[in-house]
Amino acid sequence: MEIDERPPKTANSDGGLIDHPVFRSGTVIPTEPINELYQIVRQLVFVRETGCCFTAHSGVGKTRALMMLEHLVRRRMPEVLVIPHNTWNHQVASIRAFYKHFLAAIGHPDLRGETFDLRHRLIRRLVDMARANKSPVVLLLIDEANAMRIDDFLFLKDVYNELDKDGIQLITVMMGQEPDFGDVLALLRERGRLDLISRFARRKMIFRAFSKEEDFRGLFRHFDTSIYPMEGGLTWVQHFMPVAWEKGFRLADQVGTFLDAVDRCATPASRSVGIPGRQLFIAIRRYLLEQMFREQSKKAFAELGWDDSLTYAMLDDAIDTINQEEKRERRKR
């Protein structure tokens, strides 16, 4: 076979699997924690609160949550102008470069000029976008808020004040990783910038990991009911386990078995800490793959498939990392 030849893509080929939504990096599922996040932000918009910040540990799924939040707000509240912003990507050497990055991110073609010109252009662009959208509210979703500097908060204050002059409300939703985001707020307090905390970060909440039985049942049911391809396709689970599916297997019925495996494979504190989304989705993918390979090889169903998948996902190590981060937070208090 020549090096540039490609075998035909079939449902069971590696190419067919890689294209499946279960493995796509852009696939985001409306989980119960994300639904809770949306309800909180929905209330923020209705009561016109100026801001709120959410914190979570590494691997919980902060970035994916903001992606789904943006989608939900655009679909359910089309009158709200939603602007995503990644602070980490804008950690640049000068405030002028910061404005240029932000202008480029919101699609402004003119990145020339001095700092004042760029700042003015950026604010006017936000105002124009809100007007074009006929929106009384601009919802700014800030990812990696743990990388924010005081200058970033001051910029938000300027934007808030300028939009307010035009009768437009800026609402910021920050998502940051603990314990680093706590350090950001501590620095603001140390510098006496309680005005910034009051406006943007007084309401601090936790974006939680998967912990409740209904969290897992709702997620597993999504795998049972989602169809790919949309026209004439199979459910996600059916794609990987057609034989078991025909015999009545449903992933949602596996919640009890899954949680028993969690108790065997992770520390006793895993239920209270919660299961990070990163490890959970790795385990689900691994489980589906293993059962698919066993079906194709005419092997028996892997009764301990969840144990193997959770071990592969290194769940115990991830929970231990979260416990260490929480100990560090407690020492700082």
Q: What residue segments make up the domains of the chain, in order of their start?
A: 14-25+211-327, 32-206
Provide the pLDDT for residue 4: 36
What count of Cα atoms within 13 Å lies in the side-chain half-sphere of residue 20?
A: 27
pLDDT, one tens digit per residue, over 208-236 is 999 999 999 999 999 999 999 888 789 99
| Whether this model's pTM surpasses 0.75 | yes
Provide the pLDDT for residue 13: 57
Q: What does the pLDDT average to over 118-131? A: 86
End-to-end CA distance of the chain: 63
- From 105, 39, 96, select the one nearest 72 (Cα to Cα): 39
At 1, is the pLDDT very low, low, confident or very high (cuts 50, 70, 90)?
very low
CA distance readout (Å), 109 to 87, 102, 105, 301: 21, 11, 10, 57
At 92, is the pLDDT very low, low, confident or very high (cuts 50, 70, 90)?
low
Q: Which of 93-107, 148-162, 240-254, 314-328 has the lowest mean pLDDT?
A: 93-107
Distance, CA of 113 to CA of 46 (rounded, Å): 38
Chain mean pLDDT for the chain: 88
Provide the pLDDT for residue 93: 55
Spelled out in words, what is the top-level CATH class assigned to the domain 32-206? alpha beta
Model confidence at 179: pLDDT above 90: no
Model confidence at 269: pLDDT above 70: no
Q: What does the pLDDT average to over 286-308? A: 93
Backbone angles phi, psi at 143, to 5 degrees: -90, 160
Provide the pLDDT for residue 88: 61
